Amino acid sequence: MARLIGISDIHGEYDKLCSLLGIIAPQSDDMIVFMGDYIDRGSRSKDVVDKVIELGEMCDCVYLIGSHEYAMMHAKHDEYYDYLFWNYGGDATADSYGGFENIMRVHGDFYKSLQPYFIKGKYLFVHAGLRSGIALEDQDLVDMVYIRGNFYNYAHNFPYRIIFGHTEFDRARVWADKICIDTGCGKYKDAALTAIVIEGDGREHFVNSYGEDYEL
């Protein structure tokens, strides 16, 4: 049966992405939601983007925007985001493209097409989270890619189980109303890249680039 798969916060770690995909073995009827932060920190951001685009040719892929893509796309015209981009690993991204100006030249269509969130059945995928008390259509994109404790420390009032990344934990973290799958890939040398795999029968489990497969 078709699977629904979420992957977030790859951060230029091409080898870990390839390892994870090799373990998951995507099939043509699977849907993969990439939840942002493809770039920065790791040395192969361009290769990561090439890979996720290529994967979209063999199965259904959805691409969301993360905080690092947001900062990169605003860096040229905003001092704050320029600081964020370069301070949080943007030099590695620029190097992988052969210069900052080449990033949008090579993959501009991809970055401009990134979605803020995606809903599939009872699940809502977003990079960082949502602000409770605000209708989904009124959410601020900055919150959706940058929010942390104000989201995950409190129960939300949305009618979905929210799958998110952005805030790293040692292992996938599960609450009654939300699941975080950022396990520090790119930020810590030995951290794994983790995916949530939702089977056709509804079973939720986690697979990482080191071959662990577990439920919480």
User: What domains sit in the chain, N to C, each tagged with a CATH number?
Assistant: 4-214 (3.60.21.10)
The DSSP call for residue 138 is G
pLDDT at 61: 98
Q: What sign for the dihedral angle of Cα 203, 208, 209, 212?
A: negative
pLDDT in tens, the chain (216 residues): 799 999 999 999 999 999 999 999 999 999 999 999 999 999 999 999 999 999 999 999 999 999 999 999 999 999 999 999 999 999 999 999 999 999 999 999 999 999 999 999 999 999 999 999 999 999 999 999 999 999 999 999 999 999 999 999 999 999 999 999 999 999 999 999 999 999 999 999 999 999 999 998
pLDDT at 196: 98
Q: Which of helix, strand or coil describes residue 169?
A: coil
118 - beta bridge partners? 125
pLDDT at 1: 78
17-29 as b/e: b if 16+ CB within 10 A: bbbbbebbebeee
Nearest 5°: the CA angle 190, 93, 47 is: 75
pLDDT at 84: 97
Residue 35 region by backbone torsions, left for phi larger than 0, else alpha for psi between -120 and 50, else beta:
alpha
d(CA 99, CA 95): 6
Q: What sign for the dihedral angle of Cα 66, 10, 39, 148?
A: positive
